[in-house]
Amino acid sequence: MPTKRVSMHKFREVIRLKSAGFSLRPIATAVRLSLGAVAKYAKAAEVAGLTWPLPVDCSDEALAQLLSKPPAAPVTAAATPTAIAVAAPAAPKIVVPDFPAIHQELKRKGVTLQLLWHEYCEGNEGLRTYAYSQFCERYRRFAKTLKRSMRQTHFAGEKLFVDYAGQTVPITDALTGEIVSAQIFVAVLGCSNYTYAEATLSQQLPDWLASHVRTFAFLGGTSAVVVPDNLKSGVDKACRYEPEINKSYEELATHYGVAVIPARPYRPKDKAKAEVAVQIVERWILAVLRRRTFFSLAELNGAIGALLTQLNTKPFKALPGSRLSAFKTLDQPALRALPAQGYEYAQWKKARANIDYHVEYEGHYYSVPHGLVGQVIDLRVTATTVECLHNNQRVASHVRSPRRGTHTTVDEHMPKSHQAHLQWTPGKLLNWAIGIGPCTKDIVQHQLTNKPHPEMGYRSCLGLLSLARKYGNDRLEAACRRAVAIGSLTRKSVLSILEARLDQLPHADAPSSSAALFPDHVNVRGPKYFH
C-alpha cells in the first residue's frame, strides 16, 4: 500500500498503466517511482483485485480501505518448458539471409534474432545455412552499415516521439500585413518512421494537446508510449529521474491509454527519432515552402499535408519500402484503438474555498459545498464547464461564465440559514409588510425601489423583519408611521425610534409645514422627531 509520502494519484497511475499491459520498468519511469515501489503497489492492487478503470465513486479513502485487506497466500506458478531448436541439416550451398527484412522484423514486439534464425533455417530446408553465431555476426555487420539513428531497436506500436521544429513559418495577415510565426509540430513512430507534421499558432498547452489529438487521428490509433521533449507545455518540471507531467497532459494520456515518458534532459539519444524527423521535415517540407507566402494557418497546413504525403511515400535508401509501407506492415496493426469519445481539452488549477464557500476562476466565483470552506479544490475547466473536485471526487459542476466579479451559486451548497435567507423574494417581502401595516409596506416598497442594487434592498427589508421579531408588529408599524411622517424611510431610523421608544409617544400623522423647507434626506429628521 502506498506510503503517506506517495500520493494516491500516483498509485492510480500504476493501476492504469499495469492494466494497460505495461511492464514494471516503464511504469516506474512514467510515474517517477522506484522499480521496487511500483512492484509493491502492483502487487497490492492485484491482491485487492483492482483493475482500471476504477469505480467512479472510488475516492482516495475508499481506495485506501480496499488496499488495507490482508494479502492472499502466494501462488507458485509452474515452470514453462522451453522448446529446444534443432539445426537444419547441412546442404551444399549457403543461403544468404535477407538482412534488410530481418532488420525490419526485429522491430516487432517479441521478435528475436534466434526466432528469425529458426525461420531462416526452416525456410531453406535442404540448403546450407549459417549457424546461429554466424547469423548474428553477419546481421551485426549489416546493422553497422546503417545510419546511427537506425541502430536502436524500436518495437511496432511502442513509441511515438513528439517535438517542435526549431524553424518557424511566417503567416501574413492579408488585411493588416501583420506577420506571425507559426510553430511546426512533428511526430514520428519509432518503428516505421511514419511522420506527421502540422503548423500551430503557438507552443502553448491548448495547441500542444490539440496537436496530439490530431496526430492520433492521423495514425488511426495510439502508441503505447509518447516520448516528448521537456517542453514546458507538457512537463512542469524537467528532471532526469522524476519529471513532473502537466496535469492536462496527464489527463490526455489517461484518455488515450498511453504512458508519457519524457526524454531525459541533456540526453539527445533519448529523442534521436524526433530530432531526425524534425530535420527531415525541415529539409523536405519547410525548405520547399520557403519562398511561398501564406495568409492563413489552414493554407499553410494544406501545403504541409501535401508534402507530408510525398515524404511518407518516398522510398528508403537502405531498407525496402517506404515510411507508409512500413507503417502499414509494422506499426498500424500494433496500434491501440482510439477511444469512442473524443478528448476534450481541460485546464487544471488549484483554488481554496473562501469563507463564502466559493472558489474563484478568472474573476468569477463558483460555489462548492459549504463544508469545504478552507479546503484546496482542484478545478477542471473546459470551454463550457467548471468542475470542482476534492479528494479526486467531483463535488460541484457549473456552467462556465465569462462575467467577472459575479457569482454562480447552487442553493444546496449553502448553509440552511443562508438558504432560508434566499427564499425571501420582493413579492414575499411586500406581502409580509402589508400584513403588518400600510406604513411598514411603504418603507419596504421604498427599500426595494430606491437602492442601487436589489440585494441591498433585500438586506434592509430582512433587517425590518428582525425588528418585528424583537419588538412586535404593532410597535414596528407605529415606528414606521413616525418614520414616514418625518420623511426618513430607512431601517436605521425605524430602529432608532424603537430604541428611544418614540413609537409609544403621541404624534401627528403628517409632518409640519416647515418640514417642506428641508430636503428629504436620511440625516434630516425634522422637528417632530424631538417632540
Q: What is the pLDDT of residue 26?
A: 80
Q: What does the alpha-carbon distance between residue 499 and residue 176 come to, in Å, rounded to a whole number?
A: 71
Q: What is the pLDDT of residue 48?
A: 77
Q: What is the pLDDT of residue 423?
A: 57
Q: What is the pLDDT of residue 101?
A: 84
Q: What is the pLDDT of residue 241?
A: 35
Cell readout for 437 is: 401595516
- CB neighbours of residue 468 within 10 Å: 18
Cell readout for 299 is: 493554407
Q: What is the pLDDT of residue 87?
A: 47
Per-residue pLDDT 10s for the chain (531 aa) are: 555 445 677 888 888 888 777 888 888 888 878 888 888 888 888 887 777 777 766 777 777 766 665 554 444 444 444 444 444 444 456 888 888 888 878 877 668 888 888 888 888 887 888 899 999 998 888 888 775 544 456 788 889 999 999 899 999 988 888 999 999 999 999 888 999 999 999 988 889 999 999 999 999 999 999 998 766 554 544 443 344 677 888 889 989 999 888 876 655 555 678 888 999 999 899 999 988 999 999 999 999 999 999 999 999 887 788 999 999 998 999 999 999 888 888 888 899 988 778 899 988 989 999 888 888 999 989 888 999 999 888 899 999 988 888 888 888 887 765 555 555 667 777 888 888 899 988 888 888 787 665 556 676 787 888 888 889 989 999 999 999 988 888 888 899 999 988 888 876 544 443 443 345 555 666 555 555
Q: What is the pLDDT of residue 79?
A: 42
Write the secondary structure of 33-51 as one string of H (helix), E (strand) and C (coil).
Answer: CCHHHHHHHHHHHHHHCCC
Residue ranges per structural domain of the chain: 8-67, 99-145, 159-334, 347-415, 424-530
Helix ranges (H only) for 373-425 are 416-422
Phi, psi of 207 (to 5 degrees): -70, -40
Q: What is the pLDDT of residue 243?
A: 45
Nearest 5°: CA angle at 150, between 184 and 168? 10
- Look at residues 362, 346, 351, 345 and name the one whose alpha carbon lies nearest to residue 402: 362
Q: What is the pLDDT of residue 333?
A: 92
Which amino acid is residue 121, in one-letter code?
Answer: C
Q: What is the pLDDT of residue 41?
A: 84
Cell 516506474 appears where?
A: 28
Q: Which long-range contacts (CB under 8 A, 24 or more apart) does 315-324 make?
A: 318/100, 318/145, 318/146, 318/147, 318/150, 319/100, 319/103, 319/104, 319/146, 320/100, 320/101, 320/104, 321/104, 323/192, 323/193, 323/194, 323/195, 324/194
- CB neighbours of residue 178 within 10 Å: 9
Q: What does the alpha-carbon distance between residue 330 and residue 155 come to, in Å, rounded to a whole number?
A: 9
Cell 426618513 appears where?
A: 488
Q: What is the pLDDT of residue 505?
A: 83
Nearest 5°: CA angle at 292, between 289 and 297? 85
Say what the pTM is. 0.54
- Look at residues 228, 236, 298 and name the one whose alpha carbon lies nearest to residue 264: 228
Q: What is the pLDDT of residue 414?
A: 76
What fold, for 159-334? Nucleotidyltransferase; domain 5 (3.30.420)
Nearest 5°: CA angle at 190, between 144 and 245? 130
Q: DSSP string spanning 223-278?
A: -SEEEE---TTTEEE--SS-PEEPHHHHHHHHHHT-EE-PPPTT-GGGGHHHHHHH
Q: What is the pLDDT of residue 210?
A: 92
Query: Under a CB-based contact definition with an 8 Å cutoff, are residues 374 and 353 in contact?
Result: yes
Q: What is the pLDDT of residue 59?
A: 76
